[in-house]
């Protein structure tokens, strides 16, 4: 449920009306792999109101060291683990604030911890913090990530799909195949997890980000990968769109046509 500003009730995530919680994760991941040839495991992320609920997830691992959220996400997407955390497992305040596991308080909003490192002035740092999309604090104690095919977070709040730029634009095109909508996403720069899972969790809409320095240094995200975070109800639509595009000859890998060849034949097949 969601409440109006100033309400004493916590703000919780809500799915789009009428969405179907009954997903065939194995088939959907197989379809994504077949249509896009993605190499990184698609995963789910779920927030929990209590730590006990998170720890009840089957075969869940709990950290024995302090991590960034980027590392935890990559334990699922790179190692195929199911991992659960609380704010106490995270280093610093940035990661927990994006996930709503700790308050976005005045100290955090000041951005003082980033001034002179990522931003020139205190004002620049504070503007960055205020620009970030975050889950409102106060509703959740824990978070878990797991490969979608395990079905252990059924359904997750959001799905995370890593892909190279060519794969990503086709995934976006799949979402736009029917019921077209222009997607408009921002870029906060550093802390770009706010552009992916922060925005998708809070807006309940698909969101694409350019993984930042921390995601690549600590999360091991390769140079060529972008990240889409999306509520699960958008995945069947994206896959159906990808199937239609593939049937029209618009599929991955996109074969280069040649920069000096006559383009009329190729354009006629793809656009006429």
- Whether 4 shows a pLDDT value over 90: the answer reads no
pLDDT band at 12, cuts 50/70/90? low
Averaged confidence pLDDT in the chain: 92
pLDDT of residue 1: 31
| 2 vs 124, higher pLDDT | 124
Tokens at 117, concatenated: 């490192």
- Whether 179 shows a pLDDT value over 70: the answer reads yes
Dist. CA 246–CA 90, nearest whole Å: 42
CA dihedral 196, 172, 221, 158 (to 10 degrees): 40
What is the mean pLDDT of the segment spanning 191-219? 97
Contact 132, 35 (CB under 8 A): no
Dist. CA 240–CA 49, nearest whole Å: 33
If residue 230 lies in a helix (H) or strand (E), which one and from where to where? strand 226-230
pLDDT band at 22, cuts 50/70/90? confident
pLDDT of residue 266: 82
Q: Is 225 helix (H, G, I), strand (E, B) or coil?
A: coil
pLDDT of residue 270: 82
At 132-153, the pLDDT tens digits run 999 999 999 999 999 999 999 9
pLDDT of residue 14: 55
% residues pLDDT > 70 (the chain): 92
For 24, counting Cβ atoms within 10 Å of its Cβ (0-12 exposed, 13-18 middle, 19+ buried), the class is: exposed
% residues pLDDT > 90 (the chain): 85
- Whether 16 shows a pLDDT value over 60: the answer reads no
CB burial of 220-239 (b: ≥16 within 10 Å; e: otherwise) equals ebeeebbbbbbbbbbbebbb
At 154-163, the pLDDT tens digits run 999 999 999 9
- Whether 5 shows a pLDDT value over 70: the answer reads no
CA distances from 220 to 25, 124, 142, 162 (A): 25, 28, 23, 12
Q: Does the predicted TM-score (pTM) go above 0.95?
A: no
At 87-105, the pLDDT tens digits run 999 998 999 999 999 999 9
pLDDT band at 15, cuts 50/70/90? low
Angle (CA) 196-199-201 rounded to 5° is 100
- Whether 19 shows a pLDDT value over 80: the answer reads no
- Whether 10 shows a pLDDT value over 50: the answer reads no
At 46-74, the pLDDT tens digits run 999 999 999 999 999 999 999 999 999 99
């Amino acid at each position: 449920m969601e409440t109006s500003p100033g309400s004493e009730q916590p703000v919780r995530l809500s799915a789009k009306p009428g969405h179907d919680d009954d997903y065939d994760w194995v088939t959907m991941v197989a379809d994504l792999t077949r249509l896009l040839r993605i190499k990184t495991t698609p995963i789910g992320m779920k927030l929990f109101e209590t730590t006990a609920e998170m720890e009840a997830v089957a075969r869940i691992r709990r950290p024995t060291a302090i991590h960034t959220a980027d590392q935890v996400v990559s334990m699922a997407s790179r190692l195929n683990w199911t991992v659960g955390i609380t704010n106490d497992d995270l280093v610093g305040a940035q990661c927990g604030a994006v996930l709503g596991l700790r308050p976005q308080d005045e100290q955090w909003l000041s951005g003082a911890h980033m001034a002179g490192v990522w931003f020139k002035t205190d004002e620049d740092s504070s503007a960055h913090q205020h620009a970030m999309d975050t889950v409102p604090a106060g509703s959740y104690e824990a978070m878990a990530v797991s490969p979608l095919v395990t079905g252990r977070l059924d359904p997750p709040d959001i799905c995370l799909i890593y892909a190279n730029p060519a794969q990503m634009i086709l995934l976006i095109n799949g979402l736009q195949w029917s019921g077209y909508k222009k997607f408009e996403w921002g870029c906060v720069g550093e802390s770009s997890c706010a552009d992916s899972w922060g925005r998708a969790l809070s807006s309940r809409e698909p969101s694409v980000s350019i993984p930042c320095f921390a995601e690549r240094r600590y999360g091991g995200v390769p140079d060529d990968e972008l990240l889409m975070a999306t509520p699960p109800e958008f995945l069947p639509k994206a896959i159906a769109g990808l199937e239609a595009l593939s049937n029209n000859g618009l599929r991955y890998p996109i074969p280069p046509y040649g920069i000096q060849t006559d383009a009329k034949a190729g354009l006629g097949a793809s656009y006429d």
